[in-house]
Structure 1
Amino acid sequence: MSRKIRIAVLGAGSWGTTVASLASRNTQTTIWARKADTADEINREHRNSAYLKGLPLCSRLLATSSLHEAVHDCDVLVVGVPSHSFRDTLRAVAPLLRPWVPVISLAKGLEQGSHMRMTEVINQELPGHPAGLLAGPNIAREVLQGMAAAAVLAMADEQVARALQPLFSSAVFRVYTNSDVIGCELGGPLKNVIAISAGMAEGLSVGENTRAMVITRGLAEITRLGVALGGEAETFSGLTGLGDLLTTCMSPLSRNRQVGEQFAKGRTTAEIVASMNMVAEGIKTSSVVMELAAQYGVVMPIAAEVAAVVKGEHGAVQAFRGLRRLAAGAENSAG
């Protein structure tokens, strides 16, 4: 191609904006924001104060509140909207998008009702477009500040993944490829549920031993369900599995961990959601995870306690009492 590849990023939340800023250093990139004020601020001041207050964006990043303007001539489409609005966004995009344009998901959620992963939604709503995801242990603010980090670009077609890999890479942001789309995509939504339990552990001051137990046994639950759904076991020990789980459970900036901390203070799901500026995917994902666990016969005691807290069936203290009642078997067995 004689011109640079054009990327469109849909969604001006913290991670969508960060990825757009990264990509704009490598090629022409336009981000779509629902609010015209957000698009104007990005264009004029190179900032997104609603989600990334105080952090400058690449001055070459363009923004628009027009979906048509963002999408109609793009060569790569990156979708960074939350899972609950993912399908509707794709339906709005479908008549605007040129054929064969690769579509990359940034969302770490599962669709309620259908239980679909976001690449499955892409394949259903935008057939003929190569689908993939960009995921990993990435706190948006740290990446934008230039701290070293890594992510995985997962696509079934390795050749397409390698072609797109340089578009999101930098000297301090390493992008790996992986053809296990199922495993890479499940790590994100599943770890969000475990991160809520880690937040509850932090908020209840139950100690580092207990938090380590929750994270480790949580990884075992994630792996069991991920493999049952078709993922490769080794993927869950990589960047999109263990790496993402550790970051989300340990960082005070993690939205899902913050949710768990609020549950530990006795707040309800409705109160927590009303107080948050950004979406914590683990809240909605917890019920989907338990439906999948039941469907595939996978035992997930930690996720079950989180789902019960989210539903308001009991509080964080009762959740940890419930976990203490479980009998311990062999480490590599369920439970």
Structure 2
Amino acid sequence: MNTDQDHKTIAILGAGAWGSALATLAAVNNHELRIWSRRNELSLSEAIANADIVLFVISMKGVPSVAAQVEEIGISKKTILVTATKGLDPKTTLTPSKILQETFPDNPIVVLSGPNLSKEIEAGLPAATVTASHDLVAAETIQEVFSSDYFRVYTNNDPLGTELGGTLKNVMAIAVGVCAGLKLGTNAQSALITRALPEIMRIGTHFGAQPETFLGLAGLGDMLATCTSPLSRNYRVGMGLSQGKDLEQILEELGSTAEGVNTTQVLVNLANREGIPIPISRQVYRLLKGKITPLEAVGNLMDRELKPESCDILDESVG
């Protein structure tokens, strides 16, 4: 049980499945919780007033505007800002933590990400995650807030890598969902996931992330969870595409955001600008745009130029 000194007031911005799951975890440790969304009666100013921690668990498209509102209302420079949002801003191509960093340059920023399917968290099943920040004290504070007997939290000092691992795996989950929906077999799915990892690492390290981060919970761990479970919204997008459904129908059936759809568009723009090879992501992009069929996407990947597997994954000339 927390001491008075450990007791935190936490504003959770976002009342979706993941926001609710994180609220459940924080409640285990008896923290004061204020949950805000655009649909409840609590105002944003009431939610963040004197909060020790402000946790962003909103969709990517809402991060810039909500961050601007929080800035206008005003918060203490001691308030820890945490992002559990996974995505890339279409306008600026920034990650959520970069948006928060630019908006609140004097506040500690923490990224929370890992293999965390919200329904399993709500069910009390064991899981682990990562809190990442350049401010180790802030990362450790968030670690203590959410740690429990069934939720293990690790820290690292690579918020960008932690964030990109959680963001980019959503694109790969769409690809694996297609593979599963086409019933191409375990061999094909294993090969796809294995080749997806160096693609994600190539992107992340290009922008300064640490390669080892992608081999941990926020990278490989999150990708395995999202690419192998029907609980994953992005995986289900891929499954729907494999069944011949159009994207609008799939998203309507989901009834919630699948960030991989938006991330794919921004990622392709980034890769074109930076000259980063992204063969798997590019096929997902073409599939989402209706330019190719699922079987054509598979064929395009299988027909690529032969090469050694031992190519350096950090070499940007390698696809």
TM-score range, shorter chain: over 0.9
User: Displacement of 1:6 after TM fit?
Assistant: 0.2
Distance 2:178 2:195 in 1: 15
Distance 1:30 1:258 in 2: 31
Assess, with a 3 A threshold, how the Cα gap between structure 1 residues 97 and 145 changes in structure 2: closer, same or farther.
Answer: farther
Distance 1:204 1:244 in 2: 23
Which residue of the partner structure matches residue 81 of structure 2?
Answer: 103
- Can you list the C-alpha shifts for 1:263-287, whole angstroms capped at 9, x where unaligned? 1011222222222211100000001
Distance 1:310 1:125 in 2: 32
User: Displacement of 1:3 after TM fit?
Assistant: 7.8
Distance 1:167 1:289 in 2: 33
Distance 1:4 1:193 in 2: 38
CA contact (8 A) 2:109 2:135 kept: no
Structure 1 position 235 matched with structure 2 position 239 = no
Structure 1 position 31 matched with structure 2 position 31 = no
Distance 1:294 1:332 in 2: 25
User: Displacement of 1:323 after TM fit?
Assistant: 0.9
Amino acid at match of 1:253: L
Which residue of the partner structure matches residue 283 of structure 1?
Answer: 261
Which segments of 5 or more consecutive residues in structure 1 lack a partner in the other structure?
Answer: 37-63
Distance 1:2 1:246 in 2: 37
User: Displacement of 1:97 after TM fit?
Assistant: 3.7
Secondary structure (helix, strand or coil) at the match of 2:130 reads strand
Amino acid at match of 2:76: P
CA contact (8 A) 2:177 2:239 kept: yes
Structure 1 position 116 matched with structure 2 position 94 = yes
- Can you list the C-alpha shifts for 1:227-258, whole angstroms capped at 9, x where unaligned? 11111111100000000000000011000000
User: How many residues are aligned here?
Assistant: 308
Which residue of the partner structure matches residue 40 of structure 1?
Answer: none
Which of 131, 134, 137 aligns to 1:156? It is 134
Which residue of the partner structure matches residue 66 of structure 1?
Answer: 43
Which of 78, 92, 109 aligns to 2:55? It is 78
Assess, with a 3 A threshold, how the Cα gap between structure 1 residues 133 and 3 changes in structure 2: closer, same or farther.
Answer: closer
- Can you list the C-alpha shifts for 1:130-158, whole angstroms capped at 9, x where unaligned? 11111000010111111110000011111
Which residue of the partner structure matches residue 270 of structure 2?
Answer: 292
Secondary structure (helix, strand or coil) at the match of 2:72 reads coil
Which residue of the partner structure matches residue 21 of structure 2?
Answer: 18
CA contact (8 A) 2:114 2:222 kept: yes
Which residue of the partner structure matches residue 65 of structure 2?
Answer: 88
Secondary structure (helix, strand or coil) at the match of 1:94 reads helix
TM-score by length of 1: 0.89
Secondary structure (helix, strand or coil) at the match of 1:240 reads helix
Which of 8, 12, 32 aligns to 2:11? It is 8
Which of 146, 154, 175 aligns to 1:168? It is 146
Distance 2:201 2:5 in 1: 44
Distance 1:315 1:244 in 2: 27
- Can you list the C-alpha shifts for 1:153-208, whole angstroms capped at 9, x where unaligned? 01111122112311011111001111011111100111000000000001110111
Assess, with a 3 A threshold, how the Cα gap between structure 1 residues 2 and 224 changes in structure 2: closer, same or farther.
Answer: closer
The sequence identity of aligned pairs, in percent, is 37
CA contact (8 A) 1:6 1:29 kept: yes
Secondary structure (helix, strand or coil) at the match of 2:250 reads helix
Assess, with a 3 A threshold, how the Cα gap between structure 1 residues 2 and 209 changes in structure 2: closer, same or farther.
Answer: closer
CA contact (8 A) 1:99 1:128 kept: no
Which segments of 5 or more consecutive residues in structure 2 lack a partner in the other structure?
Answer: 312-317
Assess, with a 3 A threshold, how the Cα gap between structure 1 residues 145 and 291 changes in structure 2: closer, same or farther.
Answer: same
Which residue of the partner structure matches residue 192 of structure 1?
Answer: 170
User: Displacement of 1:114 after TM fit?
Assistant: 1.0
